[in-house]
Amino acid sequence: MRLKDQIEHIAPVVAGILMMATLSSCGSGRSSGGENSFREKTDSVLALMTLEEKLGQLTLYTSYWDVTGPVMRDDYVEEIRAGRCGNIFNAHTVTYNRSLQEIAVEESRLGIPLLFGYDVIHGHKTIFPTPLAEACSWDTALIKRSARYGAMEAAASGLNWTFAPMVDISRDPRWGRITEGNGEDPYLASRIAEARVMGTQGEDLADPLTLAACVKHFAGYGAPVAGRDYNTVDMSELHFRQVYLPPYKAALDAGAVTVMAAFNDIFGVPSHANKFLLTNLLKEELGFGGFVVADYSGVEQVIPHGVAENRRSAAEITFNAGLDMDMQSGIFVEQLGAAVKEGAVKMEDIDEAVRRILQVKFRLGLFDDPYRYLDTTRENSIIYSAEIMEHALESARKSIVLLKNEPLRGRKILPLKNPGRIAVIGPLADNQLDLLGSWHAAGDHNKVVTLLRGMKTHFPGSEINYAKGCDFYSTDRSGFDEAVRLTQNSDVAILAIGENQAQSGEAASRSDLGLTGVQEELAQLLISTGKPVVILLMAERMLTFEKLDNNAQAVLNAWHLGTRAGDAIAQVLAGDYNPSGKLAMTIPRNVGQVPIFYNYKNTGRPLDPQNMYTTKYLDVENAPLYPFGHGIGYSAFEYSNPTLSDTSISMKDTLRVNTRVTNEGPADGHEIVQLYIRDLTASVTRPVKELKGFRHVFIPAGKTVKVEFMLTVEDLKFYNQELEYIAEPGAFKIFVGTSSEKTRESEFKLIQGT
């Protein structure tokens, strides 16, 4: 008899979902504390399992691919068959995953279906902008749709679990993985984190077009010392709770069913072995009822971290800390059996970890139909569908940030007005692979619309010529002459420079954030021709380019925008789309300013240029090159002073903040109106500005719109010295504006009482 027939009381899947919906609020330590009847279902499976089979459910291995496709490797196939491996990652396509699922379901003793995980970070086959780029759209509905479409394609490829979203706050562009996150700000990153979870998991996890999400990396992975990947993270718990914790919490509140531990140590203990993090904070305080998976070999890595002597103690300390699933180390399945027998690990804790994992499998509907994600018709119809390709274009357009658009000889360069001849230059101009960006999953670079192709499509009346000019790293200047000649013979040059896709992402930290090779030299040379030159910075992190910025008239952050990159950039340059992106991360002037962020503390000696002994550098100003929230378009927006519904509010009141924004033209456009606060005096030091809201408005040229924000005491809360989350009475400033720097302000008081 198959497992499905043996499980008692298998209620309809939908009932399981309803029951699980309450799980996240009732977890306690190892205990998931789920509804009784749901627990009965997992318990009826547990009752049939040997210890080894239980440990198999706590085990995740990567599959292997060669250049042409999947390779069935005996090591993991045999483990699946023996019930010693319950989960696989990096395997996709319906045919391949079906063959593995058949082994699990038809050939293992209990037939428990496999989870299939994969890093679907910014799309699966159709690739969207890298997450940091997309965060610059500040468009949570759009971002939710990206997660939804990525999940649809991945689920249609036989996957049911993604290792996304990454929600690590980072204020350090040296760290290559900033590309996978949502920037520096806890509020914006939280709104995006919840959008990505909701898009990925949909309304119903059993829907075969959704995936289980995995919030990562818990915790603090975005703050490694010196920006070097995998390095130690050290900060006060107060700072951690205030800045780094909110996006994880938002993602969990949005219902994420799995969490990945981080490679770094934090508070002196590796995250994988950190009981405070995984049990006390995550499972108990935040009530997380899903399961915690290790990062790649993270269990084994507690040995070099220096907190475990050998594989046995690595297994014990990570499992006892609250880690439920081992990724790739194979240590849980190898060591935990003996640890249980010797009493170092409790059998009831093993059961609880298995229960958490099986519950996710139940919620995905895998016990009802283990092949529900494995349908070739769906695979063929969904992947690269017109709707998803159109979304890729929309997302790419909205991610572009116009940093600067100054006049040259009295006329702004952008948007381009019927240029007769356009020179398209640079290592990213006729490039497909790098436009996909890092972690581009199963994306196919042959599908990418290059900048050159996009320009030809969207400027049909112009003559378009291309020269590469230079490469990313090389100091070869032999292409300079051709690039200069083309520029001189054109009405405008579009220069696409930046990074290749391997310069950002995991293990891609940099100590110098300048343009590599001779790219900047080429840019300065083209500008010196006197012709209009548009600088497209196509990279995944904030680069330093102050000198170039001083000389250039038009600069855009055009990132690595994915499959429709070239179309999106060309539409923006043509003015078919009025750019609306705003920076989700500050751009420094030089690497010495890093970490740099808008929500810094005032200090006891705030900057006073007249006073030597105030907080500053001797060789660079404190202000960044471009601040958080900055981004212009082809219209000028004018803000009125904010008006408040009252000058003081009680702990129960709502404060209404109104402002009027006028589009002074010349083009219709989108504006992202930003609201910041400052708590002027509190029991702990507070930032000089904190984002608390933003609104997207479309304003036709010449028109004015009224924008209203509501603030409640929840928006004024912070952690005090006792780590209580509270609001304190006193005066607050309100800022409303177009960026974190360009704001208009007002003031109100929070008063005690109701």
Q: Which residues of 683-714 are buried (b: 16+ CB within 10 A; e: fewer)?
A: eeebbbbbbbbbbbeebebeeebebebebebe
Q: Can you tell me the distance from the alpha carbon of 300 to that of 327, in angstroms, rounded to the nearest whole number?
A: 10
Do 125 and 157 form a contact (C-beta atoms < 8 A)? yes
- Please compute Rg for the chain using Cα positions: 27
* Least Å from the CB of residue 262 to ligand NOJ: 8
Using the 8-state DSSP alphabet, how is residue 226 labeled? G
Nearer CB in complex with ligand NOJ: 252/382: 252
Q: Checking DSSP bridges between strand 492-498 and strand 533-538, what pairing results, if any?
A: parallel
Smallest distance, ligand NOJ to C-beta of residue 628, A:
25
DSSP secondary structure code for residue 685 in this structure: -
Label residues 642-671 b or e (16+ Cβ within 10 Å = b).
bebeeeebeeebebebebebbbeeeebbbb
Q: Supply the minimum distance, in Å, between the C-beta of residue 313 and ligand NOJ.
A: 23
- Report the DSSP beta bridge partners of residue 672: 696
Q: Which two tokens stand for residue 348?
A: 């009831």
Pairing of strands 643-644, 648-650: unpaired
Q: Can you say whether the dihedral through the CA atoms of 341, 346, 348, 354 is positive or negative?
A: negative
For 111-145, give one letter per residue: b (16+ CB within 10 A) or e.
Answer: bbbbbbbbbbbbbbbbbbbbbbbbbbbbbbebbbb
Residue 544 neighbours by CB under 8 Å, 6+ apart:
513, 514, 587, 588, 589, 590, 591, 625
Please state the φ and ψ torsions of residue 193, each to the nearest 5 degrees.
-60, -45
Q: Which is nearer to ligand NOJ, 150 or 337 (CB)?
A: 150
Pairing relationship of beta strands 643-644 and 655-666 according to DSSP bridges: antiparallel
Give me the half-sphere count of Cα atoms (radius 13 Å) on the Cβ side of residue 202: 20
How far is residue 497's CA from residue 448's CA, in Å, rounded to a whole number? 17
Query: Which residues does residue 648 pair with via DSSP β-bridges, in sequence order?
Result: 749
Q: Which of 185, 265, 295, 351 is catalytic?
A: 295
The half-sphere exposure of 611 on its side-chain side, counting CA atoms within 13 A, is: 7
* Backbone φ and ψ of 198, nearest 5°: -65, -40
State the helix-helix crossing angle for 311-321 and 347-363, rounded to 10 degrees.
60
Max Cα–Cα distance, the chain, nearest Å: 83
- Residue 295 or 352: which CB sits closer to ligand NOJ? 295
What SS3 class is residue 520? helix
Question: What's the rounded Cα separation, in Å, for the pair 28 and 22?
Answer: 13
The two three-digit tokens of residue 180, written as one number: 């996978």
What burial class does residue 235 get, using C-beta atoms within 10 Å of its C-beta: 0-12 exposed, 13-18 middle, 19+ buried?
middle
Angle (CA) 93-94-97 rounded to 5° is: 85
424 membership: H or E segment, kind and range = strand 421-425
The end-to-end CA distance of the chain, in Å, is 63
User: Side-chain half-sphere of 469: how many Cα atoms within 13 Å?
Assistant: 32
User: How many whole angstroms from its chain centre is CA 477?
Assistant: 37
295 is catalytic: yes
Pairing of strands 87-89, 411-412: unpaired
Q: Which of 593, 427, 627, 590 is nearest to 512 (CA)?
A: 590
Q: Do 536 and 430 form a contact (C-beta atoms < 8 A)?
A: no
Q: Which residues bind ligand NOJ (CB under 6 A)?
A: 119, 163, 216, 295-296, 506
Q: Quick check: 522 and 469 in contact, CB under 8 A? A: yes
Phi, psi at residue 494, to the nearest 5°?
A: -110, 115
Q: Annotated catalytic sites, by residue?
A: 295
